[in-house]
Amino acid sequence: MYEKLVDRFIRYVKIDTRSDANSETIPSTQSQVEFAKMLVEDLKEIGLEEVEYTEANSFVTATLPANTDKELATVGFIAHVDTADFESENIQPQFVEDYDGEDILLNKEENIVLSPSAFPNLKNYIGKTLITTDGTTLLGADDKAGIVEIISAVEYLIDHPEIEHGRVRLAFGPDEEIGVGADRFDVDHFDADFAYTVDGGPIGELQYESFNAAGVKILVQGKNVHPGTAKDQMVNALTLAMDYHAELPVDEVPEKTEGREGFFHLTSMTGTVEEARMEYIVRDHDREAFEARKAMILEIAERLNQGFEEERIQIEMNDQYYNMREVIEKDMRSVEIAQTAMKELEIEAVLEPIRGGTDGSKISFMGLPTPNLFAGGENFHGRYEFIAIESMEAATDVIRKIIELIAKN
């Protein structure tokens, strides 16, 4: 049904678009610019209108005009062009047809195996056609699967003008993986009533609840003197950093939490006796609990600082995004239409909170309700990433069905 979907996916994932958290440019890597401009040409080629690349935010936007005189809501579909912080050069996708449920040898030379013993989710794909990595890179289905699914859905509608539909907006943006791409999303220019990010995992995922999120940087200032004369003089920054970390709840970490349970996550720790640095991410679905976690971060620093004549621990903390449920639950049309679309396609909708965030987390708070739809991939951000062709087709079906339902209702 979607003749170009797989070929387009393979062509896109082979293009390196990895983002860079240490970059100060917009977007963070030039490869994303080049890919975005290629998308502009592809979108024009299939017949979309108002196709443009906006240099101020590096988003590609386009319009599928309505083919009816009815006054209908404008729906938007959004995906990101960048891939995560893992090897992304020379991606060599591999096909596994009629998967048998056994180990998949990704790379013979390095003996890299994708095994259901390590990834039980593989058993869900027996009989399907999988696209995997060669074991040395990620695949990039996050989120190039979302891009090709959106394009394939609107391309189908262009090729079938007998299907009534309203105005549809598309947006493909940068730097989602480093959490800054949506900061400059132009909601007014996008001009939609509600939207969806197509950036989820397995078939059926429909998410309108995300974490509240903050990033924390901690500078610990020590005092380095010769260890032979250090008594009552040395302040070991590394030790003080460990003392700080020990004050946090030991069980409230990612590896011991699930569902709506929040956490403190130490992502890096470096330093010497003289100076140490730590970085955390703080997450919670509940806003009050989230604020309490941030307060704890500050309170621990204040309490430990009281043991010194000068401030030894400094905190820099910034909110990153909030739980999009706060916005979406005020207008549930987007969720209800997606649920109906999946039901008509005999897909079981799985409404679970995201233990993370999407661009929709930020865009929803800009005034555009934007839940997240499945794109079909599994094991994102690493060498074991894979996707089934059937999952991509199902995601494309859902996008198309949502557009059709808006015209009917």
Residues annotated as catalytic are 82, 176
Helix (H, G, I), strand (E, B) or coil at 60: strand
Please state at what angle helix 141-159 crosses helix 5-13, rounded to 10 degrees: 150
Q: In Å, what is the CA distance from 57 to each residue of 15, 164, 180, 242, 399?
A: 21, 32, 10, 40, 25
DSSP per-residue letters across 372-396: EEE--EESTTSTT-EEEHHHHHHHH
Q: Treating both helix axes as pointing N-terminal to C-terminal, what angle do 237-246 and 287-305 enclose, rounded to 10 degrees? A: 140
Give the residue from 364, 336, 332 showing the smallest Cα distance to 349.
336
Q: Which residues pair with 52 in a beta bridge?
A: 61
Q: Which residues contact 272 (CB under 8 A, 6 or more apart)?
A: 222, 224, 237, 238
Helix (H) or strand (E) holding 300: helix 287-305
Q: 254: which DSSP letter?
A: G
CA dist 408 → 67, 86, 335, 337 (Å):
13, 43, 16, 11
Output the six-digit token pair for 388: 């089934």
Q: Which residues does 221 contact at the CB level (< 8 Å), separation at least 6?
A: 235, 237, 274, 275, 311, 312, 313, 314
- Residue type at position 191: D
Question: Tokens in use for 32?
Answer: 């994303």
For the beta carbon of residue 255, count every other beta carbon within 10 angstroms.
Answer: 7
Residue pair 327/335 in contact by the 8 Å Cβ criterion: no
Q: Give dist(CA 244, CA 11) in Å, integer.
A: 48
Q: Provide the β-strand partners of residue 216.
A: 280, 317
Strands 263-271 and 275-284: antiparallel
| Rounded to 5°, angle at Cα 43 from 41 and 54 | 75
